[in-house]
Amino acid sequence: MSSLPSTGRTLAEWTAASRSDFAAAAESLRALRENLDTGSNAWISRIPAKRLEEEIRRLQKLPPSLPLYGVPFAVKDNFDAAGWPTTAGCPGFAYHPTISAPAVARLEAAGAILVGKTNLDQFATGLAGTRSPYGAVVNPFDRAYVAGGSSAGSAVAVAEGLVPLALGTDAAGSGRIPAGFNNVVGLKTTRGRCSKQGVVPACPSLDCIAVFALTADDAGVALDVIEGYDPEDPWSRSDPTTDSAPSIPKSLAIPQSTEWFGDNRAELAWLGTMARMEDMGMALHAVDFTPLFELASLLYHGPWVAERHAALGGFIEARPEAVDPVVRTIIARGREFSASDVFEARQRRQELLCEVRALFARHDALLVPTAPSHPLLSAIAGEPLEQDSRLGRYASFVNLADCCALAVPAGFRVDGLPFGISMIAPAWQDRRLLAWARAWQRHVPSLRGATGIPAPSAGVPPAPAITKPRLAVAGPYRPLSRHSGWQQQSQLSHTQEKHV
């Protein structure tokens, strides 16, 4: 462990270091605190030196056998943590809780140390990570590109190797899109599986806890710690399943017609990923995603926006000057819907859910690109609402469909930016998705976020150049005509591919 830097460690490496040489691990934590600010705008608040020393002394009194012994972690700044201000990305909204959210308290009880709270799209409203008075969170692979949101800071903190674990939230893709853009794992847990007490609500009936980690194993350890029914949370649910050894999904439904919004680099990475999926023995079936896209439209273009207004409208109307103009515009639309609109949308949702259940009766899971394109910061500034809609194309329907989802790295695009994929399954199949992700990570060697350090599996290729993009397709390019079930065809030849 002495040769491993204090950045880029996995959970297992942090706990092993803390158990074998506590004094050295404490020095690693001190060094980490000094280097948290990397200029990416990932952080809103960082642990003071005095508080870190208090945490180190607390850790000394705990049994080293704890699953997260000595692990530094971060939380999105819409989680309450005793002694830390909660801003939800809005300084005028800030308050000082005396009790930590259960998810935070459980991590600390398991031996973890909170080292900071991370930046986000204000009130968790956005998918790019740019709507924050604390600055737009930039992508560590290329700072001209977005980091993804709304849990932008949490994903970047993990990608930069500063913490091996961070919490975020997810109502429409906020726990997956940043994972895809930053080459990390993002687990969107089943709605109600983890308590949302002490988390500033965005859309309470849909909000879920999200876990960011470097590996599927780490995400699974975190899930073991934070999950559990909470009688104090009105949206909490008990896990009805008993399967302790879930099978890996094999029959996967993919979009029949995939929209890339002109991003050919993302399309190429997807084609390579499909080839690798087949190499793993996955059966891919192109299906019509129209019912899922209609579900997604109910979230931001239907009366579910009114739920955001119900949660936050009072503050926004009292303090409009304190709120980002785009966030204010989105949430204010909630006043436009009537009670009849709400019940009509609920009815339509139930009808669409019948189609979703039929889809999962035929296939184990859905497989999608985590995001169809990776926009520049300048593109988000020019078309904030349109870009949000595009980013959420394969993510925003998931909570309305009552599914869990897992975003994982799938290599790199030809320009050196990360490419991510997501698997989606019915509620309570979180561990089945993690089992698939472990198999995927064994099959496809990867890097630890943006650190350039090989992931625990062997045979990892060199890190992609960040300042000088190079050819690094996620898997071999192969034409798709031989796959009778696929309706997609790339219009790019090998020659074109080299010049994208």
Q: Which residues contact 334 (CB under 8 A, 6 or more apart)?
A: 303, 305, 306, 307, 308, 309, 310, 313
Alpha-carbon span 214 to 228, nearest angstrom: 23
pLDDT digits (tens, 9 = 90+) for 297-324: 999 889 999 999 999 999 999 999 999 9
Q: Which residue has the tokens 């020019």?
A: 382
Q: Which residue from 70, 86, 74 is spatially nearest to 6, judged by alpha carbons?
A: 70
Q: What is the pLDDT of residue 185?
A: 98
Which amino acid is present at 75? V
Can you list the domains of the chain with their CATH numbers? 11-249+368-472 (3.90.1300.10)
**Residues 125-146: b if buried by 16+ CB within 10 A, e if exposed:** bbbbbbbbebebbbbbbbeebb
Torsions phi, psi for 117 (to 5 deg) = -115, 140
SS (H, E, C) the chain: CCCCCCCCCCHHHHHHHHHHCHHHHHHHHHHHHHCCCCCCCCEEEECCHHHHHHHHHHHHCCCCCCCCCCCEEEEECCECCCCCCECCCCHHHCECCCCCCHHHHHHHHCCCEEEEEECCCHHHCCCCCCCCCCCCCECCCCCCEECCCCCHHHHHHHHCCCCCEEEEEECCCCCCHHHHHHCCEEEECCCCCECCCCECCCCCCCCEEEEEECCHHHHHHHHHHHECCCCCCCCCCCCCCCCCCCCCCCEEEEECCCCCCCCHHHHHHHHHHHHHHHHCCCEEEEECCHHHHHHHHHHHHCCHHHHHHHHHHHHHHHCHHHCCHHHHHHHHHHHHCCHHHHHHHHHHHHHHHHHHHHHHHHCCEEEEECCCCCCEHHHHHHCHHHHHHHHCCCCCCCCCCCEEEEEEEEEECCCCCEEEEEEEEECCCHHHHHHHHHHHHHHCCCECCCCCCECCCCCCCCCCCCCCCCCCCCCCCCCCCCCCCCCCCCCCCHHHHHCC
Q: What is the pLDDT of residue 246?
A: 83
Q: What is the pLDDT of residue 121?
A: 98
**Residues belonging to the chain:** 500
Alpha-carbon span 183 to 196, nearest angstrom: 26
Which parts of the chain register pLDDT below 50? 1-4, 458-500
Alpha-carbon span 214 to 186, nearest angstrom: 9
Q: Which residue from 486, 293, 489 is spatially nearest to 394, judged by alpha carbons?
A: 293
